[in-house]
Amino acid sequence: MFEIVDIDALGRIGKLFVNNKQMITPNLFPVIHPFKNVVPASDLKEIGAQCLFTNAYIMYQNELKREKIIKSGIHNHLQFDGLIATDSGAFQKYMYTNNQIEINAEIIEKFQEDIGSDFPVILDIPVQLDDTHEQAKEKVNTTLSRAKDNVRRRSNKSCHWVGPIQGGKFLDLLNKSVNEMNSLDFEIYAIGGIVKAFLEYRFDLTTDILLNVKKSIVPNKPIHMFGLGLPQYFSLAVACGCDLMDSAAYILFAKEGRYFTLSTGTEKLDELEEFPCHCPICCQYTPKEMKALGEDMRIELLAKHNLYLSFSELRTIRQAIREGNLWELIEQRVRSHPSLVKALHVVNNNKTFIEASEKAYKKSGRLYISSESISRPLIKRYDEKITSNYRIPKEAKFLILLPELDTRGANSPSILSWISQINNTQLIPRELLHVVFISDFYGVIPLELLDTFPLSQFESITAIDNNDDLHQNSVRKALKFLNVNIQHYEKCGVLIPEMFLNQFNEIKKFSSKNPIHKIFSLLQAKYASKISNFTNILYLLQYFRTDGMQ
Ligand code: GUN
Ligand code: ZN
């Protein structure tokens, strides 16, 4: 049973209950060899593994040990009392395509039932990245018919089957795969045929595939990504709906002397003077000491560090989901590699889909920390609401445009003073005045909405150049709003101060790069007769008064 307890974006925290055991999601199944464990299973548990992934095909092939494992069961064999998933040999066929491996689906699936796997995987046929559509179609069809055979044949009720979704970059095949798998009962749906894309850092492709699967897969089952093991990508994958992953990357990288970090990706042990991490391994050894060890020991320690880091990242991600800060985390993580930034941009093409599951309210304030923040679902939601769901106050005749300063609303002494002058003016009845802020991220923020979520609490970077993304974002959104709404006002006064007081009460020069300059000049070119700019509020209010107000 899968119970979802919290969400952020398409990311979710869930509890998976199986065979009287429980695991939390998002989570990673470390992949281990069934006979040659570099890191013993008991150590894996200590490092944080609630579940393991191993290979049924390798066990089955070993005729000497096969019967013994059937007798003892997989948990005894591996000496691990958590949840165990087993792969069917499809992976071997996928990775070593020229190797003529003969596997029979019925036999390998029955074997997984016999050894008591918690999560066996059917014998699917992974689509290769360079398959033609025709080849991919055949693999998808065979996988689907094997999935149906599997459902019919099942005999061990303790086995909770994993159903692979194939199709890869061919979205029509991927969708066919999802639609048919939806009607077959699997405990976990797993996206296959993407390991080689991970190896080539094609995170844009894997993100696109994941989002396409999420659009039509049943919502009440966990989604697994086969072979996802690079922790820098975990947060983005989780935000796009990935609940589970399995990987041997921690050990494969360790064998190449590679050390996981989240800031710069993987580092070569040879090039490290100090360890940046403080897991038990990195606290106990210096890189120099680790290099001096024998190969087996060195690989084991590096693998352990790599896993500590992976589980630490999963805890960070789950906590970010609880706090509603997953996008903030992702924007930090993608900075470690351009391919990750590219993958984040794929999300932009799917904003409508992701926005639909964004929470209506979050407890904490938002931080807009990079130009990618413009694409956050919450901002898209605001754009839509201000366009289609907002009416300016009925009595408003005069529009006052104010710039955003270093900080918002009541935290800004200058803004407080402007608002106070506007609210207390004797020159014009207050209800005739409508105040709207020009905002880098939101375009416009009407004053009466300033204390509502998500406008009330956010801190953001600001435009620093007339052509940067933020500047363009602000100008485009503000003009969209103003071109539609300006007809409601008799006049519009734009405040462009020379100086202002920042949040520390220091006098600062108002930036010549603030988008309000550009917005004013574009509006003036179009609506010269009813728009003017001022350096202080008093002059601005007088401008409204000189016309028809006496
Ligand atoms: N391991 C990595 N990719 C795959 C896949 O597509 N199918 C299976 N069964 N295992 C995998
Ligand atoms: Zn470490």
The pLDDT tens digits for 393-440 are 999 999 999 999 998 888 899 999 999 999 999 999 999 999 999 999
449 and 320 in one domain?
no
- Rounded CA-CA distance 550/547 in Å is 7
pLDDT, position 99: 62
Q: Is there a contact between 127 and 170 (Cβ–Cβ < 8 Å)?
A: yes
Average pLDDT of the residues in 336-341: 95
- Rounded CA-CA distance 326/329 in Å is 5
- Rounded CA-CA distance 228/499 in Å is 52
Please indicate whether residue 91, judged by its CB atom, sits closer than 6 Å to ligand 1. yes
* Nearest residue by C-alpha to atom 10 in ligand 1: 91
Please indicate whether residue 168, judged by its CB atom, sits closer than 6 Å to ligand 1. no
**Residue ranges with strand state E in 253-352:** 258-260, 266-268
Helix (H) or strand (E) holding 460, with range, is strand 458-460
Which residues constitute the domain of residue 396?
379-545
* Nearest residue by C-alpha to atom 5 in ligand 1: 192
Please indicate whether residue 481, judged by its CB atom, sits closer than 6 Å to ligand 1. no
The closest-lying atom of ligand 1 relative to the alpha carbon of residue 193 is 6
CA 193, 196, 201, 202: dihedral to nearest 10 degrees? -50
**Structure tokens given for 64:** 């000497």
Average pLDDT of the residues in 227-245: 97
223 and 303 in one domain?
yes
Q: Is residue 11 part of a domain?
A: yes
Q: Please give the full DSSP string across 66-78, using - where no structure is assigned.
A: HHHHHHH-HHHHH
- Rounded CA-CA distance 372/466 in Å is 17
**Average of per-residue pLDDT values in the chain:** 95
Confidence of residue 549 (pLDDT cuts 50, 70, 90): very low
The pLDDT tens digits for 93-147 are 788 765 667 889 999 999 999 999 999 999 999 999 999 999 999 999 999 999 9
Amino acid at 386: I
Ligand in nearest proximity to the CA of 260 = 2
* Nearest residue by C-alpha to atom 2 in ligand 1: 226
Average pLDDT of the residues in 446-468: 89
CATH code (residue 100): 3.20.20.105
Confidence of residue 380 (pLDDT cuts 50, 70, 90): very high
130 and 232 in one domain?
yes
Confidence of residue 182 (pLDDT cuts 50, 70, 90): very high
- Rounded CA-CA distance 372/329 in Å is 12
- Rounded CA-CA distance 228/163 in Å is 17
Q: Is residue 366 part of a domain?
A: no
- Rounded CA-CA distance 90/248 in Å is 16
List, edge to edge, every strand of the sheet that includes 398-403: 443-446, 433-439, 398-403, 491-495, 531-534
- Rounded CA-CA distance 482/193 in Å is 49
Cβ neighbours around 456 below 10 Å, total: 15
Average pLDDT of the residues in 479-497: 97
Average pLDDT of the residues in 63-73: 96
Confidence of residue 92 (pLDDT cuts 50, 70, 90): confident
332 and 429 in one domain?
no
Residues of the chain with pLDDT > 70, as a percent, come to 98
Average pLDDT of the residues in 77-101: 86
pLDDT, position 297: 97
Taking the chain, what is the end-to-end CA distance rounded to the nearest angstrom?
73
**Structure tokens given for 478:** 């503000």
The pLDDT tens digits for 299-325 are 999 999 999 999 999 999 999 999 999
Q: Is residue 363 part of a domain?
A: no
CATH code (residue 448): 3.40.50
Q: Is residue 124 part of a domain?
A: yes
pLDDT, position 362: 83
- Rounded CA-CA distance 243/458 in Å is 29
301 and 180 in one domain?
yes
412 and 337 in one domain?
no
Give the residue numbers marked as catalytic.
87
Instruction: Among 121, 165, 226, say which to mutate for ligand 1: greatest number of ligand atoms within 8 Å of CB.
Output: 226
Average pLDDT of the residues in 31-55: 95
64 and 29 in one domain?
yes
In the chain, how many H helices and how many E strands? Answer: 23, 22
Dihedrals phi, psi of 269, to nearest 5 degrees: -55, -40
Cβ neighbours around 338 below 10 Å, total: 10
**521 vs 477, 494, 518, 526, CA distance in Å?**
15, 10, 5, 9
Instruction: Among 58, 86, 87, 224, say which to mutate for ligand 1: greatest number of ligand atoms within 8 Å of CB.
Output: 87
Please indicate whether residue 409, judged by its CB atom, sits closer than 6 Å to ligand 1. no
Domain boundary, last residue among 354, 370, 396: 354
Dihedrals phi, psi of 398, to nearest 5 degrees: -125, 125
Instruction: Among 127, 195, 196, 242, say which to mutate for ligand 1: greatest number of ligand atoms within 8 Å of CB.
Output: 195
19 and 114 in one domain?
yes
For the ranges 68-77, 326-335, 370-379, the lowest mean pLDDT is seen at 370-379
Is the model's pLDDT at 546 over the cut of 80? no
What is the SS3 assignment for 113? Answer: helix
**pTM confidence score:** 0.93
Domain boundary, last residue among 354, 369, 400: 354
Beta carbons within 8 Å of 233's beta carbon, 6+ residues apart: 198, 203, 206, 333, 340, 343
391 and 349 in one domain?
no
Domain boundary, last residue among 295, 320, 354: 354
312 and 430 in one domain?
no
Q: Is residue 71 part of a domain?
A: yes
Helix (H) or strand (E) holding 501, with range, is strand 499-501
pLDDT, position 390: 96
- Rounded CA-CA distance 380/388 in Å is 12
Sign of the torsion formed by the C-alpha atoms of 416, 418, 419 and 425? positive
Sign of the torsion formed by the C-alpha atoms of 511, 512, 513 and 516? positive
Confidence of residue 464 (pLDDT cuts 50, 70, 90): confident
**Structure tokens given for 49:** 């593994």
Q: Is residue 550 part of a domain?
A: no
289 and 167 in one domain?
yes
Q: Is residue 367 part of a domain?
A: no
**Using H for helix, E for strand and C for coil, what is the string for 187-238?**
CEEEECCCHHHHHCCCHHHHHHHHHHHHHHCCCCCCEEEECCCCHHHHHHHH
pLDDT, position 97: 64
The closest-lying atom of ligand 1 relative to the alpha carbon of residue 162 is 9
Q: Where are the alpha helices (DSSP H) in 260-294?
A: 280-284, 287-292
Q: Is residue 266 part of a domain?
A: yes
390 and 344 in one domain?
no
Cβ neighbours around 6 below 10 Å, total: 14
* Number of domains the chain is built from: 2
**242 vs 210, 218, 238, 288, 322, CA distance in Å?**
7, 13, 4, 37, 16
pLDDT, position 550: 44
Is the model's pLDDT at 56 over the cut of 50? yes
Ligand in nearest proximity to the CA of 54 = 1
